[in-house]
């Protein structure tokens, strides 16, 4: 079995891997800039366009930054500036 293959102990019908088309990898300086842009109130769409990344990838980066206490909630949350 290959290194990246998953062993299914209890296989289910119609199993789907979600978000496999997204890129989850960010460089640390990019995350720092995203945190700064978020703090300044820029929208997810603005950040997405700036980094030429899918908006869903930016959202996941923001979730990561929030879970690691590098950003805080802001008025309007994700919807601000959309």
In the chain, count H helices and then E strands. 3, 0
What is the pLDDT, as a whole number, of residue 71?
95
Per the structure, how many domains does the chain have? 1
Share of the chain above pLDDT 70, in %: 82
For the chain (length 82 residues), average pLDDT per consecutive 10?
65 84 97 96 95 97 96 80 54
Check if the beta carbon of residue 24 is closer than 8 Å to that of residue 57.
Answer: yes
Is 47 buried (19+), middle (13-18) or exposed (0-12) by CB count in 10 A?
buried
What is the pLDDT, as a whole number, of residue 6?
67
Q: Assign residue 28 the CATH number of its domain.
A: 1.10.10
Q: Residue 33's closest CA among 15, 13, 58, 54? A: 58
What is the pLDDT, as a whole number, of residue 8?
67
Mean pLDDT of the chain: 88
Report how far residue 78's alpha carbon sits from residue 20's, in angstroms, rounded to the nearest whole number.
22
Instruction: Determine the structural domain holding residue 61 and report its residue range.
Output: 1-82
């Amino acid at each position: 079995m290959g290194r990246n293959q998953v062993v299914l102990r209890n296989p289910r019908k119609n199993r789907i891997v979600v978000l496999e088309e997204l890129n989850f990898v960010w460089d640390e300086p990019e995350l720092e800039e995203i945190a700064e842009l978020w703090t300044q109130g820029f929208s997810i769409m603005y950040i997405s366009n700036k980094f030429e990344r899918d908006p869903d990838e930016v959202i996941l980066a923001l979730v990561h930054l929030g879970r690691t206490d590098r950003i805080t909630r802001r008025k309007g949350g994700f919807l601000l500036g959309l």
